[in-house]
Structures are given as structure tokens and as C-alpha cells.
Structure 1
């Protein structure tokens, strides 16, 4: 007996999606085209202010005052950049900002993570009270004068602690991390506990390695907030060598608003806003791509439950 086997059916090309009626319909094609156009328009609208700031930062004073600068620099000029970046105080204040941001972010992450992990445990005694106290501070605070008196009494004026400690925990970030930890599988922690790990061991060796997305998101939130902060430093610090770069650039902006008689002074006054914004935002723009892949997933994971 001769047996024959049917020839295998031709396999579709690799990477080619199966054709469906929805994809082949005219309505779906129109939707895709309109969707692409809408996304391009939204992207252009979003990017235009940044490109405009970049163009103004490198443009000449006459073109800026005449409103002739759009997305391409005109009368290329770097006078303000040279003035700012040739000042030793600028680099000292820039270094202060890096130190303040790094220390403040590290302290905030430790406090926020441990507090959120504790609040995520329903067996914690007084859990509702602690959550209520935390949420209460989102709507009410002691006020500016009591805070200043407290910082001054503690001897924190002209120190890094005046910037770091009062803003160490963001309640929004705390609630996001608490919600994330509440969704963490309890069976995994119970297994680790059976293996002999205590609470700190479970947090350090089990929970945190599996929480990279939300941790990266919180690091970005805190780093941006502390990098852009200037009010606390302006309030609690009186020595220019201790200022962060945001206060330095703010003072430069205020001084540039005064009448300037020289061409150099006019040039600085014309584009100092663009230069200050560019120098302030540039490090965060460089940092964001490394954390962007964790950004959306971290927020969504932590926002499943309120």
C-alpha cells in the first residue's frame, strides 16, 4: 500500500499580519490616515515652543525685539551663553543643584518607599490614621511663616537640609507607590517569609527588584521637582555660593530686566529668558530618555487602585 501525505500548506510570510475585513475596509484606512495626521499635528504643536526657545537663545537682539525669530535662529549670537558659562559662580551653583537633587531624591525615595510599603499592609495597626494624616497634608499645611520659624530654630538655614527635609515626601507619589505595593502578590512575600526573610529582607530582596518601573517613575518625579525648585533656596539661604542654579538664573533674569545701555546688555536682556530655560531644562531632557520606558508603566501600575 502506498501512502501519500498531503503537502504542507504554504505558510504566510514572516512578519505579515493576517488580512481581516476590518483592516481592509475603507473606513479603517481613513481612520489610520486621520489618526496619523492628528498625531503629527499634536507633536508639532508640542515641540514648537521648545524649538522656538532654542532658536531665541541663539538669535540676535534686533531680530528678537522685532519678533522675527520662529524656529530658526537669526543673527546667530551666543553672548548670553558666554556671559553665564564664563562665570565661576554659575558652575558652583550648578554643582550645588546636582548635589541637592541627588541627596534630596535619595532621601525622598527611601522615606517614600518605606512609608508606602508599610501603609500597603492591611495588618498595620493605625493604618487608616496614618493614611488620613498623609492625605490631610495634601490640603493643609502649617504656612510659610511657621515653616520658616521651624527651619530657623532647627539651625538649618544655609544648609542643604532646609531644601531636602521639608519636601522629602510627596503625598501623591506616596499614594501611587502604596497602590502599587497593594497589588503585589501576597503569595510571593509569604514564600519569602517561609524561607526565613524578615520584613526588611522581603522589601530589599523581593519587592524592590520587582518594582523598577514605579521606582524609576518616582525618581524622575522627585528629580525634576528638586532640580526646578528655587523658592526654598531663596527663602532659607542667604549666601550666593550656596544657591542652586535656578536661583542664580532667576537673579540673572531679574538683573537683565533693568535698563542696559550697552549692546551686550541689550543682547543679554533680549534672550536671557530663553537661555535660562534652556540651561535649566537641558539636564532633565537628557535624563528622561533613560527613564521613559518605565514612566507610563510605572504610573499605570500604581494607579490601579486609589
Structure 2
């Protein structure tokens, strides 16, 4: 088989293209590498800004200080539970909603969409929502962190657009074979929607993992708090310690407190984001397919 030789312009384009992509990759990767390096470097070097790329004066003092708090593992367990159960609730509600709204024959379809879209721009406000949660008996319960934000209108629109692109003949064939609408959705539509489900799991899962504001408002018991609140508490305590130490005449003690505070900041970032970084590569292929799902009007 003959091979077409690249022209000089093709070679130049390839070199320029590879160079640009490499530079973009380095720009994206550098912040992560920098944070990891700072989290395991000497606090003295970190505070003086002498860490550029690779770690220096290796230490795990930041991680040791974090995991000395017995509540960290409780927080990890709670956050994993809230993320898994919350994402399942999200999928259970979002996928059927998007499927129903993808049907042009649905009575009042446009009216439903208008109501959904209104909620994207207007909310009841924090205080009315708090009063509602309290009146429903959900205050200081795990349930509120699982069901709050159960449906994202943005994700519903993505699902609706994806389902609208499924050939109608496929569903008609399943109905002819005796499948009900419910069975068609479960056994025919969902199996060919793995890309969509992967994207929804990623979107909702990351949202639940990073969420802390709802827990800050609605949860009082330590054994129900997610990881993010415990990490926030550690940072606040270290900041207070540094501020209190500033009143001490011993400059060395104050300097050490400031260095530790700076080191903990980077360690907390890694501890809170590591599970998501581990999970993301497994969902990357679905994310690549799903990014363009909502770009075509359904």
C-alpha cells in the first residue's frame, strides 16, 4: 500500500500543533503538580515560595496533622455515603424526567419546561428554604444532604436532548414486541445511554463530593458532617492558632505556626480532591462522548 508523503507544510503544522498541545497540557497540569509538591515539602520552603515544581525537603507533616483528627475518617465515610446515595437519587429522578420531556406527544411539555427553566434563575431564598427544611423535620438529618438538589434542570435538559436523538423506530419496535413504556425505558433506552449516565454520575457525584454549604446550614451533629466541614475546621483552627501566636513575643513560634498553616492549606486540597482525581479517569471516556450531548437542539 502506497503511503502519501507529508509535505513540508504538513510537517510544520504537525510540529506547531504538537508544541501548542504540549504547552496547554503543561499549563493545565502545573497547578496540580505544584499543589502536590507543596503538600509534601518542608513548611519553611513552602512559606518562602521556594517550591517551583518538584518537592523539596520531603515531609508528611501536613497529612499527619490532618489525620490526627479522629473525625476525618468519619467525614470520609459520610461524604462517600452522601455522594453514592445522592447520585442514585439524582439519576432516579433526572433520567425519567429527561426521557418524559423528550416526547413531543407529552401533554403540556412546553409548560413543564418553562416551569423547570424558571427554577434555574429564581429560587425561594436561603431563609425560606431553611424554614421549609425545618418544618419538614429534615433539619440535622442525613436525608437533607441526600435529597437536596435532587434534580438539576441543566442536567435534565442534557438528558432530554440525548433521549430525543434516539431513533423513534427503536422504541416502536419494542412496543410492538409487547414492551410497556416503562419497560422500554429500562431495557431498551437505558442500556444504549451509558455515555449519558456516565456524564450524569460525574456531574452529580463531583457536586455531592464538593458540597459543604448545605451541611454547614442544616447539620449540627459531628457524626453526620461531611469531610469538607472537618477540613474547613482544621484550617480555621490553624489560622486561629497562628493569629493567637502573633501575640507571643517568641518570633520563632509565630513563624512556625504560619509555616504549618501554609502547608496544611495544600494538604487539605489533596485530601479533599484525591478521590475525584482517582475516579475521573474511569469516567473520562463517557465524559468525552457526553460533552456534546446538549449542544444539539432536541
Matched with 2:81 is: 99
Matched with 2:41 is: 59
- 1:142-174 CA-to-partner distances (Å, cap 9, x unmatched) read 111111111111111111222222211111111
Cα distance, 1:301 vs. partner?
3.2
Compare the two structures and name the one with the higher helix fraction.
2
CA contact (8 A) 1:214 1:299 kept: no
Given the alignment of the two structures, is residue 71 of structure 1 paired with residue 53 of structure 2, yes or no? yes
Extract unaligned runs of 5+ from structure 1: 1-11, 13-17
Partners of 1:147 and 1:72 lie apart in 2 by 47
Matched with 2:173 is: 191
Matched with 2:144 is: 162
Matched with 2:3 is: 19
TM-score if structure 2 supplies the norm length? 0.93
Cα distance, 1:91 vs. partner?
0.1
Cα distance, 1:201 vs. partner?
0.2
- Give the aligned CA root-mean-square deviation in angstroms: 1.5
Given the alignment of the two structures, is residue 229 of structure 1 paired with residue 211 of structure 2, yes or no? yes
CA contact (8 A) 1:79 1:264 kept: no
Matched with 1:298 is: 290
Q: Secondary structure at the match of 2:292?
A: helix
Cα distance, 1:267 vs. partner?
4.4
Matches within 5 A, 1:1-306: 12=1, 18-20=2-4, 24-260=6-242, 261=245, 262=253, 265-305=257-297
Partners of 1:201 and 1:299 lie apart in 2 by 28
- Number of residue pairs matched by the alignment: 288
TM-score if structure 1 supplies the norm length? 0.90
Q: Secondary structure at the match of 1:24?
A: coil
Cα distance, 1:245 vs. partner?
0.3
Cα distance, 1:265 vs. partner?
4.2
- Cα distance change, pair 58–192 in 1 and its aligned pair in 2 (3 A): same
Partners of 2:41 and 2:240 lie apart in 1 by 20
Q: Secondary structure at the match of 1:19?
A: coil
- 1:36-87 CA-to-partner distances (Å, cap 9, x unmatched) read 0000000001100000000110111211111101211122221121121232
Partners of 2:231 and 2:256 lie apart in 1 by 17
Extract unaligned runs of 5+ from structure 2: 246-252
Tell me whether 67-76 or 197-206 shows the greater mean CA deviation. Answer: 67-76
Partners of 1:92 and 1:24 lie apart in 2 by 59
Cα distance, 1:302 vs. partner?
3.9
Instruction: For CA contacts below 8 A with separation 6 or more, give which structure has more relative contact order.
Output: 2
Give the structure with higher Rg (CA).
Answer: 1
Cα distance, 1:28 vs. partner?
1.4
